[in-house]
């Protein structure tokens, strides 16, 4: 059972989201927070697996709350779920430690995919958000990256290029005509070779190496 904490200052949205999650057999909403400070407090008490975190909240914003959770409860996975995808919000959330970034108009299927992926330690990003991150890295001063211990295979490189575009394992499998389990293995191998802890870091590392 995946334990989820909701953090959003809009009560109606929290209630709707809780109702949506309640029909999932493998998900349980363990609490609701109206601001970032309350989210940090409840997470310490309720030990959720995943926090769905709005970014613009009173008392403590979502990025600050995410950073606190990363430092105090690193096992908790945070997915930014917000109305905004401007650069400042995107980079603040990712730098704070959010493992995923979705907009509130995402489909219920996409949301559930993100929640389940977060528990597995995988990132799910809106395609536009992934593009912003890659673009941001492209603007950084060039650096000489450490070479890979082992090169990516052609198929691993295909997978990395698609995940850098925000594609999920299921979407990558469809695009490459592979089984989803095969894609998962390729992702795992690629992350290991790139020395990345998650998909977002893998995309950034691949961009540094000129693979994208």
pLDDT tens digits, 45-73 = 999 999 999 999 999 999 999 999 988 99
CA torsion sign, 15 to 78 to 184 to 175?
positive
For residues 69 and 77, the answer to whether their CB atoms sit within 8 Å is no
**DSSP-derived secondary structure letter, 145:** P
Residues in contact with 174: Cβ distance below 8 Å, sequence separation at least 6, in sequence order: none
Q: Is 17 helix (H, G, I), strand (E, B) or coil?
A: helix
| pLDDT for the residue numbered 34 | 96
Contact of 29 with 46, CB cutoff 8 Å: no
Supply the DSSP string of 68-130, one letter for each residue: HHHHH-TTSEEEEEES---HHHHHHHHHHT-SEEEETTS-HHHHHHHHHHHHTT---B-HHHH
Domains of the chain with CATH codes: 2-124 (3.40.50.2300), 144-208 (1.10.10.10)
pLDDT at 11: 94
Tell me the range of 37-51, 109-123, 132-146, 185-199 where mean pLDDT is highest: 37-51
Strand partners, 2: 27
CA torsion sign, 6 to 11 to 13 to 17? Answer: positive
Angle CA 47–49–54, to nearest 5:
95
Strands 2-7, 50-53: pairing kind: parallel
Summarize pLDDT for 144-192 with one digit per residue, the tens.
455 676 788 889 999 999 988 888 889 999 999 999 999 999 998 898 8
Q: What are phi and psi of 167, to 5 degrees?
A: -75, 145
Q: How many CB atoms lie within 10 A of CB 165?
A: 18
Q: How far apart are CA 179 and CA 157, in angstroms?
A: 17
Token pair for 135 = 């673009």
Contacts 24+ apart (CB under 8 A), 123-127: 123/99, 123/198, 123/199, 123/200, 124/79, 124/100, 124/166, 124/168, 125/100, 125/101, 125/166, 125/199, 125/200, 126/85, 126/101, 126/102, 126/166, 127/165, 127/166, 127/167
Asked if residues 81 and 107 have their Cβ atoms less than 8 Å apart, the reply is no
pLDDT digits (tens, 9 = 90+) for 17-50: 999 999 999 999 999 999 999 999 999 999 999 9
């Amino acid at each position: 059972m995946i334990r989820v904490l909701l953090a959003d200052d809009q009560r109606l949205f929290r209630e709707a989201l809780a109702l949506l999650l309640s029909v999932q057999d493998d998900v349980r909403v363990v609490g609701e927070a109206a601001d970032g400070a309350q989210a940090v407090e409840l997470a310490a008490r309720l030990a959720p697996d995943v926090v769905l975190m709005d970014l613009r909240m009173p008392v403590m914003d979502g990025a600050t709350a995410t950073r606190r959770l990363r430092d105090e409860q690193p096992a908790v996975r945070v997915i930014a779920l917000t109305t905004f995808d401007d650069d400042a919000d995107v980079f603040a959330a990712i730098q704070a430690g959010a493992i995923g970034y979705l907009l509130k108009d995402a489909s219920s299927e996409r949301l559930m995919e993100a929640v389940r992926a977060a528990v597995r330690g995988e990132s799910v990003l809106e395609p536009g958000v992934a593009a912003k991150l890659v673009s941001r890295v492209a603007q950084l001063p060039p650096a000489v990256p450490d070479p890979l211990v082992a090169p990516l295979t052609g198929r691993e490189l295909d997978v990395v290029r698609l995940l850098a575009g925000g594609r999920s394992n299921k979407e990558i499998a469809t695009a490459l005509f592979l089984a989803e389990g095969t894609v998962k293995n390729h992702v795992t191998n690629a992350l290991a070779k790139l020395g990345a802890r998650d998909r977002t870091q893998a995309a950034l590392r691949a961009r540094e190496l000129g693979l994208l």
